[in-house]
Amino acid sequence: MLQSVWQWFLESGDQKILIVAVVTLLIGLVLGMGIRSDKKEKKKAITSKGDKSFFKGIQYLLSDDHDQAIEEFTKSVQVNSDTIETYVALGNLYRSKGDIDRAIRIRQNIILRPNIDERIKIRAIFDLGKDYRKGGFLNRALKTFLQVAQQNPADVATLEEIERIYEELRDWENAYETRQKIARLDKGNHQHILAHYLVETGKVWQGKGDLSRAKTFFSKAISTHRECVDAYLHLGDLYFTKQEYKKAIATWKKVVETMPQFTFLAYRRLEGAYSRMKNLEPVGNFLKECAQSNSDAFTHMALARYLHNENDVEGALREIENALALDSSFWEARRFKGEILMRQGRERDIINDYGEIMEHLNMPYLRFRCSQCGFEPTELQWKCPQCNRWDTIGLIDFTGATIEQAT
């Protein structure tokens, strides 16, 4: 049975908490088995009864019967109220069932116990923070986790909880500082996360109308992580707002150079610039250069729109055909082609192309998938809302494969 119990703990969302709890309990059992004193026989019997309920509770957990598990754990603490591990398991169960009030009361009961081991107390405070967070009490949760971090500043798990709350509160500057602390303790690539926090901070200042400060944060994000697409896009938007169109185009062009799978984001911005820019020549030169160096369907589609706006109908149709040759399911290109043909009154071409246009018209082309958990959002997001990882959502190409982001 112990092997099954161990497997359940490995699969549990609170595995670290419960593993520590069970290991501590088993140590207590071993020590208890060594006691032979007659004075302690009665206490040993009581403890054994409580332990029996504890393991029955675990059996119910293995059967996914949480209600019965709670009942057995409750019996265990009634028999032996000194068993901290049972309270920990019971508190975690209540939290998993959404009974936050009971989970909180159990943690507080542990914390207020006299002569409690300091490590157990800190763990209980950490669990209390998770209870608050699960209940939506973000400010209380933050205050609680900060208390744990003050006691144990090198605990990465606590810092990650703090960082997550700062994200939910949209406190990007404190999230940035917390990630810096994590980066000093945990080896790995943290630059792309730091860059996103800088971009989000820049967006806040841009929304307040402070373009100078926003530009500082966007530029710092690019210096932190050269492949931060969002930073290039918003820095280009900032230049465009200031009517510095050449700088905007040059900045958006960096997306094509660094992360070509996201060039469609830059092209759509260029399309939006048609009505605002008096001199479209830089746009045209940029698109033609991209079409030669980066032959993908989006590039040809963007160039087709540009040529159509320049009244070059044949050139636009030619670029649409180039796009469809690369991806026949590119519904946006097919729809645009149909619009051009109808405007030109080219009935024969419309009839010849009608069947194929209708077959692909409603097929979604822009599809995205998280490379870590498989979640497919309806629009591109830099952080997966399901697994909470940055830069894992990529574009699904026409073969069904996910084009991953570089981190």
Sheet holding 393-396, edge to edge: 368-370, 393-396, 402-403
Window from 125-139, 147-161, 240-254 with minimum mean pLDDT:
240-254
Nearest by Cα to 323 from 311, 306, 309, 310:
306
Window from 9-13, 229-233, 250-254, 318-322 with minimum mean pLDDT:
9-13
- So what's the pLDDT on residue 91? 76
- So what's the pLDDT on residue 80? 46
Strand, coil or helix: 145? helix
- So what's the pLDDT on residue 77? 46
Each residue's pLDDT tens digit, 188-213: 899 999 999 999 999 999 999 999 99
Q: Which residue has the higher pLDDT, 282 or 84?
A: 282
- So what's the pLDDT on residue 356? 61
- So what's the pLDDT on residue 364? 53
Kindly tell me if the per-residue pLDDT of 388 is higher than 80: yes
| Average pLDDT, integer, range 302-319 | 88
Residue 219 corresponds to which tokens in the numbers above?
A: 């530029």
Q: What is the pTM of this model?
A: 0.70
- So what's the pLDDT on residue 173? 97
Q: Which long-range contacts (CB under 8 A, 24 or more apart) does 119-126 make?
A: 120/84, 122/148, 122/151, 122/152, 123/17, 123/20, 123/88, 124/88, 125/151, 126/157, 126/158, 126/161
Helices 84-96 and 15-33: crossing angle in degrees, nearest 10, is 150
Kindly tell me if the per-residue pLDDT of 230 is higher than 50: yes
User: Any residues with CB less than 8 A from the CB of 397 and at least 6 apart, and which?
Assistant: 403
Helices 84-96 and 66-79: crossing angle in degrees, nearest 10, is 150
| Average pLDDT, integer, range 11-35 | 43
Where does residue 311 fall: left (phi above 0), alpha (psi -120 to 50 degrees), or beta otherwise? Answer: left
| Average pLDDT, integer, range 252-281 | 78
Each residue's pLDDT tens digit, 150-202: 999 999 999 999 999 999 999 999 999 999 999 999 988 999 999 999 999 99
- The domains located in the chain, with CATH, are 1-97 (no CATH), 117-188 (1.25.40.10), 191-365 (1.25.40.10), 366-407 (no CATH)
User: Any residues with CB less than 8 A from the CB of 52 and at least 6 apart, and which?
Assistant: none
- Assign 384 a pLDDT band (cuts: 50, 70, 90): very high
